[in-house]
């Protein structure tokens, strides 16, 4: 039996309905105003809220509270729990939780990546309550979403710049609305609906794979006889064990006020997707981290392991996170909605032109924000977008842009039409004006853009910092150009056409997976960074620094720190992978093969002694031994190269060394090992194979 969603939804969230009942009316009003309009919360008000929160939390069985935050690059929430315990008076304690506890925390920040922004001797970091994201209870602990910064005020997390970017796009967006005569809009919300892909495998098998344990992906493994080539997994009926897991996960997430809506089997065997209904960006960010956390924990309870890595298995699809993004006024006008007559919707056309300009200018920054080390294996592969950023607009909007570019304005629009199945009993359906293009990294889907490049294990925060900042910049420029124009209608038309002409190269409606596209993209001058390592330096490009500093989102020092952290992160991940391969080769693979060669040698002798021809046995022994020798050489080589790389001082040079030479040495070790796996008997291979992992649940 399922649950009644209406009854359980938000059970563990200190949401509006709880506040309304538990806070004095005037305080409730004040909190609501602060949530929507910002401003400073007084300690008195914080005390009242904290008291109500504490009572509510105690009734729900909470013993602890924590500020939860997202240190830059670490994509799980960081949390340090404090209990409600106070100093005993006459042997008795009282549960305490004050306004100050709610407002501010001071975790020791020295052990989080800081890229040189902070030394261990100046370790202080502060967390501050993000009043716009709801407080909730999980595992007997009251969670308070927060922003995190250093003693000197530099942001050390993803949340802070995201909130600033949301503020910037709202402010510039309101300016833009005013240009069009709108007097009522007070803010622009940036919404996100992240679709989360993941793999599930059996936990017992997982525990036999050190590569999955340490690096989240398989570092060895031959492709099984069957992969995804039959297209029989996508949307297929859900395996009962997986369904039980999903049911459990959904209830937990609903209780936390997360609107998980869709779930289905994905393209690769063992791969699935879950998506909530879209929400305001910072809440979507917090919620997505919770989704990732509970995916992992719930899987464990079901004897499963959830792999969030972008490419856990070679040869089949990897996982991504589609960031569906839109900008909407507080009156509910979606700026990306073309409406019934897009040819006459000048606001939409200008917003679209601004988006084209923004995506074109900050393409590498977008590519970087969506990336992590794991995504290097995915971008450009099956079902993943290529590493080149381009925009898909579809027939209808693509045609509007073509008309504007050609004639300075659009006069007609292609209609979507009616879909007629040709069977009387089936309804006739109105079609969407755009088809889907699965090969585009940045696709217009009718009322939003779907940015499909984001890494499955990444935070969506970085992506939405870029999206909202680049739009703030483009809106600001448009307002600067158009405010005070004598003939506004004419000026808008000209400005829109100018931007569309200048940035036409970013639109690509064709097949992003085709071999011709990179060639064509190069002709157009579009950047194509194959690795995150090539994209990182863009953080300090003049265009990046200028944009972030203009809107006070990130300072140059913060960007420098982020660059440093990303290089170190890349090298760190590759180093773990290399060491894991060496370890597995030395401790598992080589011993198993040595044992097998002994068995084969014994067989050869025994067969010969029996007076029979042992050619086949000898051949197998010789094949296996020669692969074993290749493995031995490759292990030694990988060890040496990794050693050299890890000793490099400069982080960028170090990352490059890992990307080029260490990765090549890893591939050299993997090749003979995978070849051996194919020819060795199943019972002597020392770990579960791809087939065992992805087909047997």
Q: Which residues bind ligand ADP (CB under 6 A)?
A: 191-193, 195, 262, 275-278, 324-326, 334, 447-448
464 vs 569 by CB, closer to ligand ADP:
464
Residue nearest to ligand ADP (CB): 193
238 vs 663 by CB, closer to ligand ADP:
238
- Which residue, among 550, 507, 459, 593, has the nearest Cα to 162 in the 3D structure? 459
CB of 193 to ligand ADP, least distance (A): 2
CB of 414 to Mg ion, least distance (A): 26
Please give the size of the binding site for Mg ion, defined by CB under 5 A: 1
170 vs 324 by CB, closer to ligand ADP:
324
277 vs 684 by CB, closer to ligand ADP:
277
3-class DSSP state for residue 138?
strand
Residue carrying structure tokens 């050190």: 210
324 vs 617 by CB, closer to ligand ADP:
324
CB of 425 to ligand ADP, least distance (A): 26
272 vs 596 by CB, closer to ligand ADP:
272
CB of 392 to Mg ion, least distance (A): 16
Q: Which does 277 bind (CB under 5 to 8 A by kind): ligand ADP, Mg ion, none?
A: ligand ADP
Q: How many CA atoms lie within 13 A of 338 on its CB side?
A: 28
Q: Which does 448 bind (CB under 5 to 8 A by kind): ligand ADP, Mg ion, none?
A: ligand ADP
291 vs 536 by CB, closer to ligand ADP:
291
CB-based contact 109:78 (threshold 8 Å): no
Q: Which does 320 bind (CB under 5 to 8 A by kind): ligand ADP, Mg ion, none?
A: none
Q: Which does 447 bind (CB under 5 to 8 A by kind): ligand ADP, Mg ion, none?
A: ligand ADP
Q: Which does 325 bind (CB under 5 to 8 A by kind): Mg ion, ligand ADP, none?
A: ligand ADP
CB of 396 to ligand ADP, least distance (A): 17
CB of 234 to ligand ADP, least distance (A): 11
Strand pairing partners for 328?
A: 189, 334
Contact status: 310 vs Mg ion (CB under 5 A): no
Binder of Mg ion out of 195, 211, 383, 493 (CB under 5 A) = 195
- Which residue, among 132, 150, 172, has the nearest Cα to 39 in the 3D structure? 132
Q: Which does 512 bind (CB under 5 to 8 A by kind): ligand ADP, Mg ion, none?
A: none
Q: Which does 324 bind (CB under 5 to 8 A by kind): Mg ion, ligand ADP, none?
A: ligand ADP
Burial class for 523, CB neighbours closer than 10 Å (0-12, 13-18, 19+): exposed
115 vs 318 by CB, closer to ligand ADP:
318
CB-based contact 338:397 (threshold 8 Å): yes
Q: Which does 14 bind (CB under 5 to 8 A by kind): ligand ADP, Mg ion, none?
A: none
CB of 464 to ligand ADP, least distance (A): 11
458 vs 538 by CB, closer to Mg ion:
458
CB-based contact 652:567 (threshold 8 Å): yes
Q: Which does 548 bind (CB under 5 to 8 A by kind): ligand ADP, Mg ion, none?
A: none
Rounded Cα–Cα distance for residues 640 and 48 (Å): 61
CB of 245 to Mg ion, least distance (A): 19
195 vs 558 by CB, closer to Mg ion:
195
The b-or-e profile of 36-50 (16+ CB within 10 A means b, else e) is eeeeebeeebbbbbb
CB of 196 to ligand ADP, least distance (A): 10
445 vs 464 by CB, closer to Mg ion:
445
Count of Cβ atoms closer than 10 Å to residue 248 Cβ: 15
Residue carrying structure tokens 């495998």: 201
Q: Residues with Cβ < 8 Å from 662, sequence gap 6 or more?
A: 574, 575, 578, 638, 641, 642, 645
| Residue range at the interface with Mg ion (CB under 5 A); choices 15-23, 164-172, 193-201, 623-631 | 193-201
CB of 622 to ligand ADP, least distance (A): 52
Reading the block at residue 613, the tokens are 């021809």
Q: Which does 278 bind (CB under 5 to 8 A by kind): Mg ion, ligand ADP, none?
A: ligand ADP
CB of 379 to ligand ADP, least distance (A): 19
Reading the block at residue 105, the tokens are 């925390």
Q: Which does 114 bind (CB under 5 to 8 A by kind): ligand ADP, Mg ion, none?
A: none
- Which residue, among 594, 677, 675, 664, has the nearest Cα to 632 in the 3D structure? 594
Residue nearest to Mg ion (CB): 195
Alpha helices (runs of H) in 92-139, residue ranges in sequence order: 99-103
Contact status: 473 vs Mg ion (CB under 5 A): no
Q: Which does 191 bind (CB under 5 to 8 A by kind): ligand ADP, Mg ion, none?
A: ligand ADP
For every residue of 632-674, DSSP letters joined together read HHHHHHHHHHHHHHHT--SHHHHHHHIIIIIHHHHHHHHHHHH
Count of Cβ atoms closer than 10 Å to residue 5 Cβ: 13
Q: What is the 3-state secondary structure (H, E, C) of 223-264?
A: CCCCCCCCCCCCCCCCCHHHHHHHHHHHHHHHHCCCCEEEEE
Strands 141-150 and 64-69: parallel
CB of 449 to ligand ADP, least distance (A): 9
Contact status: 266 vs Mg ion (CB under 5 A): no
CB of 258 to Mg ion, least distance (A): 16
Rounded Cα–Cα distance for residues 218 and 212 (Å): 6
191 vs 508 by CB, closer to ligand ADP:
191
Residue carrying structure tokens 């590498």: 364
Reading the block at residue 362, the tokens are 């900050």
100 vs 436 by CB, closer to ligand ADP:
436
The dihedral region occupied by 585, where left means phi > 0, alpha psi between -120 and 50, and beta the remainder, is alpha
Dihedral, 555, 562, 159, 117 alpha carbons, nearest 10: -70
- Which residue, among 205, 206, 220, 217, has the nearest Cα to 674 in the 3D structure? 220
Q: Which does 528 bind (CB under 5 to 8 A by kind): ligand ADP, Mg ion, none?
A: none
CB of 459 to Mg ion, least distance (A): 19
Reading the block at residue 502, the tokens are 């200048």
62 vs 192 by CB, closer to ligand ADP:
192
Q: Which does 313 bind (CB under 5 to 8 A by kind): Mg ion, ligand ADP, none?
A: none
DSSP state of 170: H
By the criterion CB under 5 A, which residues form the site for Mg ion? Answer: 195
């Amino acid at each position: 039996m399922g649950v009644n969603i209406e009854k359980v939804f938000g059970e563990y969230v200190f949401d509006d309905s709880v506040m309304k009942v538990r806070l004095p009316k005037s305080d409730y009003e004040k909190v609501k105003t602060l949530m929507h309009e910002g401003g400073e919360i007084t300690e008195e008000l914080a005390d009242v809220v904290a008291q109500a929160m504490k009572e509510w939390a105690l009734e729900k069985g909470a013993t602890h509270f924590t500020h939860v935050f997202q240190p830059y690059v670490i994509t799980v929430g960081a949390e340090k729990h404090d209990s409600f315990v106070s100093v005993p008076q006459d042997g008795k304690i009282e549960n305490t939780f004050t306004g100050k506890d709610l407002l501010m925390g001071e975790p020791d920040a020295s052990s989080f990546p800081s890229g040189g922004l902070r030394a261990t001797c100046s370790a202080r970091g502060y967390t501050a309550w993000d009043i716009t994201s709801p407080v909730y209870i999980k595992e007997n602990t009251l969670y308070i979403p927060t922003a995190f910064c250093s003693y000197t005020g530099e942001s050390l997390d993803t949340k802070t710049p995201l909130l600033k970017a949301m503020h910037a796009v709202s402010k510039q967006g309101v300016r833009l609305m005013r240009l069009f005569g709108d007097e009522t809009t007070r803010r622009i919300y940036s919404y996100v609906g992240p679709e989360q892909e993941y793999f599930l495998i059996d936990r017992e098998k997982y525990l036999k794979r050190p590569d999955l344990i340490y690096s989240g992906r398989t570092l060895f493994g031959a492709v099984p006889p069957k992969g995804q080539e039959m297209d029989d997994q996508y949307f297929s009926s859900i395996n009962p064990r997986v369904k039980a897991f999903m049911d459990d996960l959904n209830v937990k997430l609903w209780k936390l006020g997360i609107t998980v809506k869709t779930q289905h089997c994905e393209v690769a065997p063992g791969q699935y997707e879950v998506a909530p209904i879209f929400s305001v960006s910072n809440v979507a960010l917090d919620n997505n981290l919770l989704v990732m956390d509970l995916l992992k924990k719930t899987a464990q309870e079901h004897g499963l392991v959830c792999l969030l890595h972008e490419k856990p298995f070679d040869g089949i699809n990897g996982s991504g996170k589609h960031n569906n993004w839109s900008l909407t006024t507080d009156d509910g006008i979606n700026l990306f909605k073309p409406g019934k007559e897009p040819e006459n919707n000048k606001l939409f056309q200008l917003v679209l032109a601004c988006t084209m300009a923004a995506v074109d200018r900050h393409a590498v920054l977008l590519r970087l924000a969506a990336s992590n080390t794991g995504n290097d294996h995915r971008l450009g592969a099956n079902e993943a977008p290529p590493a080149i950023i381009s925009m898909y607009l579809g027939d209808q909007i693509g045609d509007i842009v073509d008309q504007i570019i050609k004639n300075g304005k659009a006069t007609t629009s292609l209609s979507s039409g009616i879909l007629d199945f040709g069977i009387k009993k089936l309804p006739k359906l109105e079609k969407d004006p755009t088809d889907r293009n699965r090969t585009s990294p940045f696709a217009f889907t009718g009322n939003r853009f779907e940015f499909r490049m984001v890494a499955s294990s990444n935070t969506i925060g970085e992506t939405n910092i870029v999206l909202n900042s680049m739009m703030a910049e483009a809106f600001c420029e448009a307002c600067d150009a158009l405010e005070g124009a004598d003939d506004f209608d004419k000026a808008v038309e000209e400005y829109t056409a100018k931007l569309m002409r200048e940035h036409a190269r970013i639109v690509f409606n064709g097949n992003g997976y085709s071999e011709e596209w990179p060639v064509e993209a190069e002709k157009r001058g579009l950047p194509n960074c194959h690795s995150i390592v090539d994209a990182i330096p863009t953080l300090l490009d003049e265009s990046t620094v200028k944009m972030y500093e203009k809107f006070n989102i990130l300072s140059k020092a913060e960007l420098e720190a982020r660059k440093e952290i990303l290089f170190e992160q890349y090298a760190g991940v590759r180093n773990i992978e290399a060491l894991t391969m060496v370890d597995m080769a030395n401790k598992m693979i080589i011993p198993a093969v040595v044992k097998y060669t002994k068995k084969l040698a014994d067989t050869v002798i025994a067969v010969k002694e029996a007076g029979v021809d042992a050619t086949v046995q000898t051949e197998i022994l010789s094949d296996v031994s020669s692969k074993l020798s290749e493995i031995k050489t490759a292990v030694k080589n990988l060890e040496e190269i990794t050693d050299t790389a890890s000793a490099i001082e400069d982080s960028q040079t170090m990352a490059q060394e890992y990307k080029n030479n260490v990765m090549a040495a890893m591939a050299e070790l993997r090749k003979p090992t995978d070849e051996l796996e194919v020819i060795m008997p199943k019972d002597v291979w020392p770990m579960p194979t791809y087939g065992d992992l992805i087909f047997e649940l």
